Amino acid sequence: MAYPFKHERETRVLTEAFGDPAARTIEGWKKYGGYEALRQALGMSPNDVIEVVKASGLRGRGGAGFPTGVKWSFMPKDDSRQPHYLLINADESEPGAFKDRELLRWTPHQVIEGALIGAHAIRAKHVYIYMRGEFFEPAQIVGRAIEEAYEAGIAGADMMGSGIGIDITLHIGAGAYICGEETGLMNSLEGRRGQPRIKPPFPAVMGAFSRPTTINNVETVSAVPHILRRGPEWYKSMGTEKSPGTKLFNVSGHVVRRGNYELPLGFPLKDLIYDVCGGIRDGRELKAVIPGGSSVPILAAKECDIALDYESVAAAGSMLGTASVIVMDDRTDIIRAVRRMVEFYSHESCGQCTPCREGTEWTAKIMRRIEAGEGTVEDLDTLLDVGRNMTGTTICVLSDSCAAPVASSIAKFRDEYMARMRREAPIDALTV
Amino acid sequence: MAEQKTELRGGNDGWAGERGDFANLSEADVRGESYVGVRPLEGRAAGGACSYPYQLAEKHPDAPLFEGPYHERLEKIRSRYPDAQGALLPVLNLAQEIHGWLSQADMDRVAEELGLSPVYVRGVATFYTMYNKAPVGTWLVQVCTNVCCNLCGADEVMKAFLEHTGTEPGETTADGAFTCIEAECLGACGFPTVVQVNERYFENVTPDDVPAILERLRREAPKQER
């Protein structure tokens, strides 16, 4: 079976063309119905496009799950005084997430089509795709697709003979996790340090280049052409009532078949792990799952009987986030895994806010000490206290994201921490 | 392409890295199946003008910045932003693409070109990890050791790279070929361990694959003007 693998329980909408390199060209993409939705959208008023997306119930796939149509409707209805911008967030850098990269490298035209439709809806005349710097391969594929779209008269002035003109530019970053935060991304696009901004003003009022701006994730805009073409009712027929549609689940860690699987929202987590991904490697037992990328609280094995939609995962005390499921088997050293995540946040803190700049650093130091078997019970209290002071006290949520896995792992795997204090557990038990 | 190993590792069958034998895989295999392997079209639209890799084996440390075809690229980039400052990151990218790293003189040159103050440009450039503030080897080997790769043994892969190149993290080998560093998440968590070598990803790398990867890179290295 060739990569990327498919599973019979998948509903392949966004991923239909995965594995077909021909879909990277306009001609190939048109065989999948490509650019029909754009033609349709250009014949509609911007408000009508927003209404269709609102009716579909599509929610942002970048992590927060905010309804996309509603977000678009925040944009001013008058663009005569100042230009509007649409930014596509392709700065995928959440540990665990690898869905946008696959969308960009297999279906660049799907992303471009969705972005152009979104730009028309919010009356933007320029789209920037902000892609993380490490993605050189997807950047070349998308860059080529953009030039191809211009040559075919799909982007640029007078798109498809509609009289509407929208430009699209690929922008590649230079390595900073925080540029995936929407206001950090805007600063970085403007040629500044990628430090998040205080909201308000919200991007729809004053965003990139101080103009009204909307920021959408790659996967979000990729769903838009399908919704236009097949109708909001069709989209709502998949998934759950409050979380309609399909979602790319990117599974990593100790499963047999890691990869991206497109499934309707509300799919059971256990089925994803044991059926779609073929179970835990080497016949081991499940120990813990991080359901939405490293920034969300950890779930212990006994909490994993849940459905994967925004509400159900939240009810279980975690978040669906980017649906980046990190699976850990029973040999995993939780302390080491958490320490590594904390080191990441410590490295990526932009340094603007004191609770984050200091908190991530001290949390990392204490976690290192605990991992080495030199921690004390008081350290756990200190970690929780530092974590509380890091939550809700900063401009963006990087600091909260650092505190979440620490607090949840202490709550759920306290025994393991306590055993390490007494130096009973092996320190180097993680490597498989 | 080399003879494929019959025994596939890990279950991601079909993916380049799972076939092992990194020394002889074709470029398309390393890039993923049927990688188009092309630069953007030389379109007049310039929407793809910023999509060139800027961490390459071939470096021209003495070439003047932004002349000839590079000047054309610079102008294309500038045309895509409402102000000069917006073009800062793509122009720094271009400078690093040419020289292989960003010296203070390079940053000053970029500042002059865009009408920004040198200290501002330096402040921005030092924020981002992908700008090399010192020269690096022909091959910059970045091993992801973040949580998903770490769960699958990334620390061992990192150790293997250091052992086989005989370096410390961040140090360049005496022949100027390799600089190995740890990287944060590279966004390919389903294919651990992910190793970025310049503009290329090697995926599903195990410690045993390391000698073959290094051998391949030594063979591919361009003749350098160093």
State whether A144 and B85 contact (CB < 8 Å). no
Q: How many residues does chain A have?
A: 432
State whether B36 and A141 contact (CB < 8 Å). yes
Phi, psi of A390 (to 5 degrees): -95, -5
Same domain, B141 and B78: no
Q: Is the pLDDT of residue A56 over 80?
A: yes
User: Which pLDDT score is estimated for B14?
Assistant: 40
Q: Which domains does chain A have, with CATH numbers?
A: 21-236 (3.40.50.11540), 246-329 (3.10.20.600), 334-421 (1.20.1440.230)
Across the range A370-379, mean pLDDT stands at 92
Cα A212 to Cα A81: distance, rounded to the nearest angstrom? 11
| Structural domain includes residue B10 | no
State whether B39 and A175 contact (CB < 8 Å). no
Same domain, B119 and B169: no
The mean pLDDT of chain A is 94
Among B125, B145, B161, residue at a domain's last position: B125
Q: How many residues does chain B have?
A: 226
User: Which pLDDT score is estimated for B31?
Assistant: 67
Same domain, B76 and B188: no
User: Which pLDDT score is estimated for B24?
Assistant: 72
Q: What is the dihedral of CA B61, B63, B67, B72, to 10 degrees?
A: -40
Burial state string for A214-252 with b = 16 or more CB within 10 A and e = fewer than 16 = bbbbbbbbbbbbbbbbeebeebbebbbeebbbbbbbbbb
| Structural domain includes residue B176 | yes
Q: Is the pLDDT of residue A263 over 70?
A: yes
User: Which pLDDT score is estimated for B17?
Assistant: 52
User: Which pLDDT score is estimated for B19?
Assistant: 56
Q: Which of A142, A171, A431 sits opposite B153 (nearest CB)?
A: A431
The string of pLDDT tens digits covering residues A172-220 is: 999 999 999 999 999 999 999 999 999 999 999 999 999 999 999 999 9
With a CB-CB cutoff of 8 Å, which residues 335-374 of chain A face chain B? 336-337, 340-341, 344, 347-348, 350
Same domain, B119 and B142: no
Same domain, B110 and B145: no
Residue B63, chain A, CB below 8 Å: the answer is no
Same domain, B91 and B160: no
- Domain residues for the domain of B192 are 16-33+135-220
Across the range A376-396, mean pLDDT stands at 95
Distances (CA, A) of A152 to A88, A124, A181, A210, B43: 22, 20, 33, 32, 11
Among B88, B107, B125, residue at a domain's last position: B125
Nearest CA to B128 out of B111, B107, B145, B149 is that of: B107
With a CB-CB cutoff of 8 Å, which residues 58-97 of chain A face chain B? 83, 92-97
Which tokens hold the place of A257? 């078949």
User: Which pLDDT score is estimated for B37?
Assistant: 56
> Which residue in B has a C-alpha nearest to residue A18's C-alpha?
B33
User: Which pLDDT score is estimated for B67?
Assistant: 93
Same domain, B108 and B142: no
| Structural domain includes residue B76 | yes
| Structural domain includes residue B50 | no
With a CB-CB cutoff of 8 Å, which residues 278-337 of chain A face chain B? 278, 281, 294, 324, 326, 328, 332, 336-337
Same domain, B214 and B162: yes
Residues of A in contact with B83 (CB under 8 A): 209
Please list the residues that pair with B197 across neighbouring strands.
Answer: B141, B200
Across the range A283-308, mean pLDDT stands at 96
Instruction: Give the rounded distance of the alpha carbon of B155 from its chain centre.
Output: 20
Residues of A in contact with B77 (CB under 8 A): none
Interface test with A, best of B51, B55, B107 (most A CBs within 10 A): B51
Find where tokens 């890039």 sit. B31
Q: How many domains does chain B fold into?
A: 2
Q: Which of A97, A156, A194 sits opposite B187 (nearest CB)?
A: A97
Q: Is the pLDDT of residue A169 over 70?
A: yes
Residue A133, chain B, CB below 8 Å: the answer is yes
Phi, psi of A137 (to 5 degrees): -65, -55
| Structural domain includes residue B77 | yes
| Structural domain includes residue B64 | no
Q: Is the pLDDT of residue A297 over 50?
A: yes
Residues of B in contact with A5 (CB under 8 A): 12-14
Instruction: Give the rounded distance of the alpha carbon of A96 from its chain centre.
Output: 10
ipTM entry: 0.93
Same domain, B112 and B141: no
| Structural domain includes residue B205 | yes
Same domain, B113 and B142: no
Using 50 as the pLDDT threshold, list the residues of chain B that sit under it. 1-16, 225-226
Same domain, B141 and B188: yes
State percent of chain A over pLDDT 90.
91
Residues of A in contact with B181 (CB under 8 A): none
Global pTM value:
0.94
Q: What is the CATH number of the domain that holds B90?
A: 1.10.10
Among B82, B97, B125, residue at a domain's last position: B125
Nearest CA to A102 out of A260, A244, A263 is that of: A260
Q: What is the CATH number of the domain that holds B144?
A: 3.40.30.10
Same domain, B28 and B75: no
